[in-house]
């Protein structure tokens, strides 16, 4: 009977390289025990999801907890245990689960089978569960007496405060806003980062004993010299709050704004309407946010001079009665140097913006802001272009003008170093070494966009490394060399200790034949700080096709978008989150599938007794029986077994 088309779609899909169809002789591959001297060793490597995560989260770890592979201690629920593991690196799971563009999913080895694991969606579930059940962070058991100043209360500054408090150091955050959060609060619209969720994740950090000095500008209200006198170390996490203007004639017109200023005015409640015709220049996530907000705000007719968006954004006034007038849809056009399919903005954000009525024009470069007799911009002259690397090349004869009452430049950002210019470079950023210490300024460290504008999760990860360096600095220790794979890793020794299986004390006396000794972890090697495991190390044939369990997305049409500020994404249920986590292939770590036990022809591979078993110590090998046939390594789905014993 022929296989139906529907059934064909359910078959496991695997991408093959040329030549892989020629299997050769299995006999020649397997039966070489007369000359083989290699036996299995259990090797822990970093999975590519984690290797792709700028915050360095132990993603495989918390997915294994959600799916039930790694068991929590007896007095901890699996939900809380997953939360603790996730926040070991990143204290914002509910926020990052919503807004991170998820480079981890691009790196996921499951892409070689069918589709990546929905890592973001499971992270959101963990964060939302923690919010609903009021999970908090513990205060440090011991205070070191050391004081650290953090300048900037955005993702990098708050992450640094969290990691410093875990180490027992006193922390004061200085921020020139009324509220903490930085770009999470003032740069991302509330329908993407719900404020109750964000405020809760910030409060969780403050409750650890973090002091704050709000509406305080370093270099104006307090000098750098005073900070150096009052604190043992300083972390600069001031972000890149200054938007870059358009590099074309006429860009100084009053109704030409930056995306950073536009979004801050909206997020702090001042900006409630926009102009009738809005042009956004960009192509990244910020430009999408500006365009989507403009579509939601709409415009009103007969707007007063004081209510013009530029006057509100620049802080000259604030919208009040304007919000009670009848709002109409704004015509919003977004231009990008790159074609639409190559824009740096997240693909689903681009799709949603188009669905909401934003006209996105790819392959377009700005030439000039067209200015009217009153000095205000009336349009943006553009042309088609082609890209050579990151440089746009204009195409002659393709010039045209896009009418505009408001133009927003979202083409990049830089830092505002007013008052401490000596700490920055000529480009408005801070230069740091591999330990995130300012070059030539001992005791000064930096993290986040002020180092290199990138993702929120990048800022969070940089802060974690900077805090390690601060900790060494405060203890007068050498910084040492950073690991090649600089992430938060699974720690087998800590897991054994947690399960009451810690190795016995070693008296350091010379001994031979240690295979039965209890003072060491045998036949296990940790290469996680040096190697990321690729897909070709896995036995992909083990994994069957299983479609993703996706979050429900609330689509907003162009007709519905005005005034629509509700969250667009519905999180997974507990059952859906567990099912999605179960799609994880646990690359580089045993997930207890029993393949090696079942297929070993010599019964050399066996399950560790339950009383001695924990994650990473599920199977062992009787080397008196092993003949080096390497079947166990061939059928290991996760690449956890190397035929290396004896090398």
Name the more confident of 38 and 219. Answer: 219
CATH architecture type of domain 243-413: 3-Layer(bba) Sandwich (3.50)
For the ranges 210-214, 228-232, 424-428, the lowest mean pLDDT is seen at 424-428
- CATH class as words, domain 147-241+415-474: alpha beta
pLDDT at residue 25 is higher than 90: no
Task: Give me the chain's average pLDDT, please.
Answer: 90
Domain with CATH 3.50.50.60 in the chain: 147-241+415-474, 243-413
Q: Residue 7: what pLDDT?
A: 43
Q: Residue 28: what pLDDT?
A: 58
> Residues of the chain with pLDDT > 70: what percent?
91
> Residues of the chain with pLDDT > 90: what percent?
79
Alpha-carbon distances of 235 from 482, 599, 645, rounded to whole Å: 19, 54, 46
Per-residue confidence band for 633, with pLDDT thresholds at 50, 70 and 90: very high
pLDDT at residue 450 is higher than 70: yes
Judge whether 555 and 352 are in contact, CB under 8 Å: yes
What is the average per-residue pLDDT within 127-135? 98
pLDDT tens by residue, 524-583: 899 999 999 999 999 999 999 999 999 998 889 999 999 999 998 899 999 999 999 999
Write phi, then psi, for 423 (nearest 5 degrees).
-90, -10
Per-residue confidence band for 385, with pLDDT thresholds at 50, 70 and 90: very high
Per-residue confidence band for 1, with pLDDT thresholds at 50, 70 and 90: very low
Judge whether 26 and 429 are in contact, CB under 8 Å: no
Q: Residue 30: what pLDDT?
A: 52
What is the average per-residue pLDDT within 96-124? 95
Per-residue confidence band for 205, with pLDDT thresholds at 50, 70 and 90: very high
pLDDT at residue 325 is higher than 80: no
pLDDT at residue 2 is higher than 60: no
Q: Residue 15: what pLDDT?
A: 54
Per-position DSSP letters for 319-367, written without gaps between them: -SGGGGSPPB--EEEEEESS-GGG-SS-HHHHHHHHHTT-EEEESEEEE
Q: Residue 439: what pLDDT?
A: 92
Per-residue confidence band for 19, with pLDDT thresholds at 50, 70 and 90: low
Residue 34's DSSP bridge partners are: none
pTM comes to 0.90
Largest CA distance in the chain: 92
């Amino acid at each position: 009977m022929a296989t139906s088309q529907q059934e064909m779609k359910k078959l496991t899909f695997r991408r093959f390289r040329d030549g892989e169809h020629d299997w050769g002789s299995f006999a020649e591959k397997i039966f070489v025990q007369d000359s083989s001297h290699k036996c299995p060793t259990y090797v822990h490597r970093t999975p590519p999801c984690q290797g792709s995560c700028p915050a360095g989260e132990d993603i495989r770890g918390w997915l294994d907890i959600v799916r039930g592979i790694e068991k929590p201690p007896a007095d901890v629920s699996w939900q809380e245990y997953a939360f603790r593991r996730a926040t070991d690196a990143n204290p914002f799971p509910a926020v990052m689960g919503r807004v991170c563009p998820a480079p981890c999913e691009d790196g996921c080895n499951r892409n070689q089978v069918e589709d990546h694991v929905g890592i973001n969606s499971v992270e959101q579930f963990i964060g939302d569960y923690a919010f609903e059940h009021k999970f908090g962070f513990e205060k440090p058991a011991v205070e070191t007496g050391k004081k650290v100043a953090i300048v900037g209360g955005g993702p990098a500054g708050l992450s640094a405060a969290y990691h410093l408090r875990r180490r027992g150091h006193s922390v004061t955050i200085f921020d020139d806003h009324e509220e903490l959060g930085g770009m999470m609060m003032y740069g991302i619209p509330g329908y993407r980062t719900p404020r109750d969720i964000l405020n809760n994740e910030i409060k969780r950090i403050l409750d650890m004993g973090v002091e704050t000095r709000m509406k305080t500008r370093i270099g104006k209200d307090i000098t750098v010299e005073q900070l150096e006198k009052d604190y043992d170390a300083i972390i600069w996490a001031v972000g890149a709050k200054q938007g870059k203007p358009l590099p074309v004639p006429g860009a100084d017109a009053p109704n030409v704004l930056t995306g950073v200023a536009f979004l801050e005015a909206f997020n702090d409640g001042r900006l409630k309407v926009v102009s009738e015709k809005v042009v956004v220049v960009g192509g990244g996530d910020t430009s999408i946010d500006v365009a989507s907000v403009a579509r939601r705000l709409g415009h009103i007719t007969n707007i007063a001079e004081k209510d013009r968006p530029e006057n509100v954004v620049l802080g000259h006034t604030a919208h009040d009665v304007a919000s009670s007038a009848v709002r109409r849809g704004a015509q919003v056009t977004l231009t990008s140097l790159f074609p639409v399919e190559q824009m740096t903005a997240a693909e689903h954000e681009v799709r949603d913006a188009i669905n909401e009525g934003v006209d996105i024009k790819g392959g377009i470069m700005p030439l000039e802001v067209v200015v009217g007799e009153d000095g205000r911009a009336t349009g943006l002259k553009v042309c088609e272009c082609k890209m050579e690397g990151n440089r746009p090349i204009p195409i002659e004869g393709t010039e045209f003008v896009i009418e505009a009452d408001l133009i927003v430049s979202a083409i990049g950002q830089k830092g505002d170093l007013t008052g401490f210019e000596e700490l920055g470079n000529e480009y408005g950023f801070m230069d740091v070494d591999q330990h995130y210490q300012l070059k030539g300024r001992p005791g000064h460290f930096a993290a986040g966009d002020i180092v290199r504008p990138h993702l929120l999760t990048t800022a969070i990860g940089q802060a974690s490394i900077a805090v390690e360096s601060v900790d060494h600095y405060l203890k007068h220790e050498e910084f040492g060399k950073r690991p090649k794979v600089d992430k938060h890793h699974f720690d087998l020794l800590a897991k054994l200790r947690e399960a009451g299986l810690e190795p016995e004390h070693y008296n350091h006396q010379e001994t031979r034949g240690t295979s039965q000794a209890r003072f060491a972890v045998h036949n296990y090697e940790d290469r996680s700080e040096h190697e990321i495991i690729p897909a070709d190390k896995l036995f992909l044939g083990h994994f069957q096709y299983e479609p993703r369990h996706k979050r429900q997305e609330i689509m907003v049409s162009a007709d519905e978008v005005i005034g629509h500020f509700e969250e667009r994404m519905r999180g997974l249920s507990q059952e859906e989150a567990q099912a999605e986590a179960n799609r994880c292939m646990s690359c580089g770590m045993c997930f207890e599938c029993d393949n090696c036990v079942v297929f070993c022809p010599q019964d050399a591979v066996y399950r560790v007794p339950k009383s001695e078993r924990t994650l990473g110590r599920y199977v062992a090998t009787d080397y008196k029986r092993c003949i080096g046939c390497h079947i166990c390594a061939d059928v290991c789905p996760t690449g956890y077994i190397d035929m290396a014993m004896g090398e």
